[in-house]
Structure 1
Amino acid sequence: TSIASLRRAAAPTSSASLPGAAAPAQQRRHRPELRGRPVHRQISALWLAMVRMEVKLAFPQDRPPLSIISAAKIAGVSVIIDPTLASGSVPTLHFSSGNFIHGVNTILRYIARAASVSSFYGQDDIQAAQIDQWLEYAPLILSGSEFEAACSFLDGYLATRTFLVGYGLSIADIVVWSNLTGTGQRWESLRRSKKYQSLVRWFNSVAAGYGDALDEVTSAYVGKRGIGKSPAPSLKEKMPGLKENTSGHEIDLPGAKVGEVCVRFAPEPSGYLHIGHAKAALLNKYFAERYKGRLIVRFDDTNPSKESNEFVENVLKDIETLGVKYDVVTYTSDYFPKLMEMAESLIKQGKAYIDDTPKEQMRSERMDGVESKRRNSTVEENLSLWKEMVNGTRRGTQCCVRGKLDMQDPNKSLRDPVYYRCNPDPHHRVGSKYKVYPTYDFACPFVDALEGVTHALRSSEYHDRNAQYYRILQDMGLRRVEIYEFSRLNMVYTVLSKRKLLWFVQNKMVEDWTDARFPTVQGIVRRGLKIEALIQFILEQGASKNLNLMEWDKLWTINKKIVDPICGRHTAVLKEKCVLLTLANGPEEPFVRILPRHKKYEGAGKKATTFANRIWLEYADASVISVGEEVTLMDWGNAIIREIKTDNGTITQLVGELHLEGSVKMTKLKLTWLSDIEDLVSLSLVDFDYLINKKKLEEDEDFLDNLNPCTRREALALGDPNMRNVKKGEVIQLERKGYYRCDVPFVRSSKPIVLFAIPDGRQKSTLIVTGA
């Protein structure tokens, strides 16, 4: 059989001529209808085997291209190794036809296209482009001076990913893995330190999955065997709290089968998502991806008095911010007609009844196990009152539907729970069409079953209501949905009740739901938290059922590791009582130097720093300087203070002279400063405190008794002129002050740039209080 005929068999409907071994892989990527055809895969493999008969990789002996050799091994591309090129030469791939290609990335792209691994060059054009980005990124950063910063970035990036691109091994993983390996002891020391756990987990996973091929390469070219022999991490390691069975296989969702799992994230649109909801959303996302299943986002919109379209829109925005990919968005209100039919059916079967017992009396009777006087009403009486409820009459508003379960059950949730209530308020989606609405406990199991949910993830606070969930499914005659519990996320000094958060909004204690003091997703992002940090923080807890009170400091510490290696550095001097230092031998005319915004990360860009003979210092710094003392002016050099002028004990001016030949290692004070020029910008530095002043509120405590009287502090400052270019949402570091997120960028000179202080897990505020 000729190669041409094999090519035609592999793509019978294609008239395009695709050169070389790239053709089948390109067809798989650009022609989805060919994916997964066994005959096509067999023909493609045979054709590639014939093409690969004589391929030679030439490279310099002193610089073996580990990424190419490793990729070829894993991809099954047979090459003859020829390490005879002169030092400094570019790797070249020679074909028996006389053709050749050279350059590391060019050869890697060829191998990726020729690979039998379906995901090696991505599943679509977008993933292929993402892989191309990694090919450019890895050798430039991982082999340069920014190595540790790159490792920090990769660690955050891989916190919630198994692979760099998509859901399968790609050439990007091999390239980054090989570049890390090629640094030798530099990477190994970091790997042993456990400083970058997500990156190490990924590195070990790649090595364990393809250990034989990679071990052969590393032993030959790096001089080490078993460099990646650490076992691949189990789900238990990735998500603590999950159990494993005796055979060592992972058990995370009971009875789950790959490809058949369906989970749902079901927020109520009565507020914005907060950090607790984020945990539920991310765990659902994790299990959907783990089992290659479906994720439904379903709005539990059964209480029109609390819900609105604003909340729906912002919940969807928050879900997108969290990076949660879902299959469909549904609403419980979509099922109102069927829910009403089910309620009426249960009434007719005698499994539910209408009760007009006052709310407080009903609560007391349920606690004491006392049956309602309406419990044994006839079906006709119940249906008559049900009609009153459906019509929203005055009589109907006095009634509710209760399930007839067991008033003596020790589990009080089974003592005739309420299924339906009458509510005349209009609904944000269906208007005034309905006057009755199901409770969450009634609607949830019903809709779960109808939508095909296999596993319902619920926080452990619902544990006592699980029996009710299963009993309602049983009475409805619907299939069983497995419940999987995880612990509720509780944070110190924080209220997560949407009712309580709404109180802060309604009483103008905060700006709105996006306030930086709020634990909402939008609030903590506005404060300066990176989503990568939040995801890493939540996944470190996993699906554990242990109740924990978590510290914010841990979350902000993770965040610092992500922002510090890449955020630009700037200078600010607090305005209040700032002191002018005159340098007698300073430059007669101001001059400018171009300096890096981050000395260890070139990607942060450059900044222009002005040097002049009059500079501003903060009063706190000026107050600890002595006459004759030598100090260091950061990014300039040393100066000696010759005179300190005061007025009624307050320092008003300093006089000194530059001593640039002095040793910066010998000085005690390293000072930030700004030249006295017109281009300085005005800053408003804002810091925040917790909304409540007690670490943990007990159940019987009122949060209103524990409000923090001062939760916002502001200080005015001068900033370097480069801060005109700082964008809204950008994170920067102010030298000797900490990290800040730009909330309001530069607009005009008369309006200050507003910067929100970002906690770093340990640093206390250095701001002067000017407002609460």
Structure 2
Amino acid sequence: MSDIKELREEIRLFSLLNAIEYNGEAEVKAVMSRIMGEKPDLRQKAKEVKEIVQEEVKKVNSISLEEQKKELKHKKPSLLEKEEKKEQNLPELPGNKENVRMRFAPNPSGPLHIGHARAIVLNHEYVKRYDGDFILRIEDTDPKRVYPPAYEMIQEDLDYLKIDVDEKIIQGERIQKYYEVAEQLIEQTNAYVCTCEQQEFRELRRKAKACDCRKNSKEANIKKWKKMINGDYEEGEAVLRIKTDINHPDPAIREWPAFRIVDQPHSTYGKKYNTYPLMNFSVAVDDYLLNISHVIRGKDHIPSEKRQKYIFDYMNWEYLEYLHHGTLTIKNIELSTRKIKKGIESGKYNGWNDLRLGTLRALKRRGIQPEAIKEAIKQLGTSEVDAKFSWENLYSENRKIIDEEAERYFFVPNPKKLQIKKSPKKTAKPPIHPDREQKRSIHLEKNPNILLPKKEVKNLKKGDKIRLKNLYNIEITQKSPIEAEYIGNDLSNLDQMKILQWVPQKQNLDMKILKKNQEIKGVIEKNAKNLNENQIIQLERFGFVRIDSEQPIIGCFAHR
């Protein structure tokens, strides 16, 4: 082992860095992973190293965050500079930061997906930084887009991401508050009921001309508004519009609609209402009434901010602080709740956690850890530059987390039998994990039959020398039927041999692996008989999987 004093000092540095990354609380597992990654030769002494790590983590956690930063800056300033550079992706919030209140506001049209994660994680990270409040606001004011199970599914997805919700607001329970603000705007003559034909109004708006309804008196608008909320108009016959600059350079901003009539009963509120606020109205009202301090959203919402500014100005409300990040492109995955719902109904998908989907519950089923999602999102930051979501980056972050706990097992996909001649009895003793002393035992009789991956067998030819992982060396003596002979256990020429995973023909268990667009049948070593559902393991030379079912053994592929 390295000099104990030097090793302890290095562990101390990594413990300080980990504590600073996580608000003053270092974790033994994270520090162990870092030190083993930096010094793989210590894996054989993992037990002794862990004892030192536990001691140093305890000491580091006993001092304040400021003291941790001070010590690291004194001992190894370059490490702290790297951490500070990493945090630049999340710059300081603008404006007043004393009472930070931020919100995540999904439509209950389905469960959450990876696209939602950016808003969730960024808002939550800032709330944690400033000891603020995270508001979950369910925006359910469009009866046609509400999927009733989504109310609970959204909360379940936030629980998976380990997001603490300080307040939960449901917009459908606040309809009367929106009506009150609408009536104030009508009283101010800053809003009016429009009964124009839609095509006629669009043409007038394009030409920057006011419709006749804009000239109606306050009293006439109040009367028409009462008719709207009392159900005297049918869908499409009337809307409440906000008065804007009729010559605004963006036609979409001109006289934008604040309320419309929806005849379809709401899945939660039934026929209690038929006049619902549109997003730009309800968002503006709630952001003010709920004391939201900062809003983070995509730059595609900049036109929305311009519309909502009219409400703030007319009501003499103080503006919020807005941050707009670039558009995030997420390729090679389905995110549309409408298309997913249709696919589930048709049988194309087997549920919201189908591995082909980008829903958070699909990622959870694959074994993607919430911390990996958070780290991948934090690295994107709040930059206004458009970006592409990197699945490889997400998998890299996930690998760092699950690698330190995932037990290792041999798995053979699409197995093909191989007979070995002239071989002795042998018990392979591969480690359950490279950082642990615990071993697995895989017994082979003399001259055994083993199973190899069909894809590998296909490419073997007579004379090939193979290393059976953690076992011994063989040479292919016959191609059809394929046979081999034992040629010893010399490890000096491994760079000239192909290394293959294997399992005994008699001592194995059936296993099925589910991938995004593929099912793979194979066999796993018998040591896997006690695997538990939700356990994440690594199938050597294949990849990480999450156990989806114990009997039969079914695993969901995460990544390599």
Whether the aligned pair in 1 keeps the contact of 2:428 and 2:470 (CA below 8 Å) is no
C-alpha spacing 1:608/1:209, structure 2 compared with 1 (3 Å)? same
Q: Is it true that 1:580 corresponds to 2:428 in the alignment? A: no
Give unmatched runs, 5+ long, in structure 1. Answer: 1-60, 75-118, 153-163, 165-169, 179-201, 216-225, 243-251, 647-651, 689-711, 761-772
SS at match of 2:123: helix
C-alpha spacing 1:150/1:417, structure 2 compared with 1 (3 Å)? farther
Aligned to 2:444: 611
Determine what percentage of the aligned residue pairs are the same residue: 24
Task: Give the distance between the partners of 2:376 and 2:228, measured in 1 at CA.
Answer: 47
C-alpha spacing 1:592/1:236, structure 2 compared with 1 (3 Å)? closer
Whether the aligned pair in 1 keeps the contact of 2:407 and 2:433 (CA below 8 Å) is yes
1:444 Cα offset (Å): 0.7
Aligned to 1:746: 550
Whether the aligned pair in 1 keeps the contact of 2:101 and 2:293 (CA below 8 Å) is yes
Whether the aligned pair in 1 keeps the contact of 2:102 and 2:133 (CA below 8 Å) is yes
1:207 Cα offset (Å): 5.4
Matches within 5 A, 1:349-498: 349-395=188-234, 398-494=237-333, 496-498=335-337
Task: Give the distance between the partners of 1:229 and 1:619, measured in 2 at CA.
Answer: 50
Aligned to 1:265: 104
Task: Give the distance between the partners of 1:540 and 1:414, measured in 2 at CA.
Answer: 34
Whether the aligned pair in 2 keeps the contact of 1:573 and 1:718 (CA below 8 Å) is yes
Whether the aligned pair in 2 keeps the contact of 1:565 and 1:601 (CA below 8 Å) is no
Aligned to 2:47: none
1:340 Cα offset (Å): 0.7
Q: Is it true that 1:636 corresponds to 2:471 in the alignment? A: yes
SS at match of 2:128: helix
- Range with bigger deviation, 395-404 or 233-242: 233-242
1:462 Cα offset (Å): 0.4
Aligned to 2:48: none
Task: Give the distance between the partners of 2:34 and 2:401, measured in 1 at CA.
Answer: 20
Residue from 125, 128, 131 that aligns with 1:286 = 125
Task: Give the distance between the partners of 1:138 and 1:595, measured in 2 at CA.
Answer: 24
Q: Is it true that 1:535 corresponds to 2:374 in the alignment? A: yes
Q: State the Cα deviation string for residues 402-426 of structure 1 (Å, max 9, x = none).
A: 1111222013342111111112333
Give unmatched runs, 5+ long, in structure 2. Answer: 44-52
Matches within 5 A, 1:507-656: 507-575=346-414, 578-587=416-425, 595-601=430-436, 606-612=439-445, 613-644=448-479, 646=480, 652-656=481-485
Q: State the Cα deviation string for residues 287-343 of structure 1 (Å, max 9, x = none).
A: 112222222111112112221441111111111222222211111223211111211
1:501 Cα offset (Å): 4.0
1:507 Cα offset (Å): 3.9
C-alpha spacing 1:144/1:583, structure 2 compared with 1 (3 Å)? farther
1:210 Cα offset (Å): 3.7
Task: Give the distance between the partners of 1:458 and 1:360, measured in 2 at CA.
Answer: 31
Whether the aligned pair in 1 keeps the contact of 2:33 and 2:404 (CA below 8 Å) is no
C-alpha spacing 1:396/1:551, structure 2 compared with 1 (3 Å)? closer
Aligned to 2:46: none
Q: Which amino acid aligns with 2:401?
A: I
Task: Give the distance between the partners of 1:277 and 1:687, measured in 2 at CA.
Answer: 23
TM-score scaled by length of structure 2: 0.85
1:148 Cα offset (Å): 5.4
SS at match of 2:151: helix
C-alpha spacing 1:594/1:326, structure 2 compared with 1 (3 Å)? same
1:599 Cα offset (Å): 2.4
Task: Give the distance between the partners of 1:509 and 1:239, measured in 2 at CA.
Answer: 43
Residue from 60, 66, 70 that aligns with 1:209 = 70
How many positions carry a matched residue from both structures? 539
SS at match of 2:186: helix
Q: Is it true that 1:227 corresponds to 2:76 in the alignment? A: yes
1:483 Cα offset (Å): 1.8
Aligned to 1:335: 174
SS at match of 1:345: helix
Q: Which amino acid aligns with 2:544?
A: Y
SS at match of 1:305: helix
Q: State the Cα deviation string for residues 39-89 of structure 1 (Å, max 9, x = none).
A: xxxxxxxxxxxxxxxxxxxxxx9869979xx99xx9xxxxxxxxxxxxxxx
Residue from 734, 739, 757 that aligns with 2:557 = 757
C-alpha spacing 1:348/1:142, structure 2 compared with 1 (3 Å)? closer
Cα RMSD (Å): 3.8
Task: Give the distance between the partners of 1:150 and 1:305, measured in 2 at CA.
Answer: 61
Q: Is it true that 1:728 corresponds to 2:533 in the alignment? A: yes
Aligned to 1:325: 164
C-alpha spacing 1:415/1:583, structure 2 compared with 1 (3 Å)? same
Task: Give the distance between the partners of 2:85 and 2:313, measured in 1 at CA.
Answer: 33
C-alpha spacing 1:364/1:340, structure 2 compared with 1 (3 Å)? same
Larger Rg: 1
Aligned to 1:50: none
Q: Which amino acid aligns with 2:232?
A: T
Residue from 175, 181, 187 that aligns with 2:60 = 175
Aligned to 1:668: 497
Q: Which amino acid aligns with 2:87?
A: K
1:667 Cα offset (Å): 4.1
C-alpha spacing 1:756/1:368, structure 2 compared with 1 (3 Å)? farther
1:446 Cα offset (Å): 0.7
Residue from 107, 115, 120 that aligns with 1:276 = 115
Q: Which amino acid aligns with 1:754?
A: I
Matches within 5 A, 1:247-266: 252-258=92-98, 260-266=99-105
Q: State the Cα deviation string for residues 496-520 of structure 1 (Å, max 9, x = none).
A: 4444444444443322222222112
C-alpha spacing 1:412/1:239, structure 2 compared with 1 (3 Å)? farther
Task: Give the distance between the partners of 1:307 and 1:584, measured in 2 at CA.
Answer: 68
C-alpha spacing 1:232/1:625, structure 2 compared with 1 (3 Å)? closer
Task: Give the distance between the partners of 1:756 and 1:411, measured in 2 at CA.
Answer: 49
Whether the aligned pair in 2 keeps the contact of 1:681 and 1:718 (CA below 8 Å) is yes
Residue from 510, 522, 544 that aligns with 1:717 = 522
1:684 Cα offset (Å): 1.8
Aligned to 1:687: 515
C-alpha spacing 1:65/1:521, structure 2 compared with 1 (3 Å)? closer
Aligned to 1:30: none
Task: Give the distance between the partners of 1:687 and 1:467, measured in 2 at CA.
Answer: 45
TM-score scaled by length of structure 1: 0.63
Task: Give the distance between the partners of 2:35 and 2:113, measured in 1 at CA.
Answer: 40
1:284 Cα offset (Å): 0.8
SS at match of 1:269: coil
C-alpha spacing 1:138/1:431, structure 2 compared with 1 (3 Å)? closer
Task: Give the distance between the partners of 1:729 and 1:138, measured in 2 at CA.
Answer: 21
Higher relative contact order (CA 8 A, sep 6+): 2
1:754 Cα offset (Å): 2.1
1:361 Cα offset (Å): 4.6
Whether the aligned pair in 1 keeps the contact of 2:406 and 2:433 (CA below 8 Å) is yes
C-alpha spacing 1:621/1:438, structure 2 compared with 1 (3 Å)? same
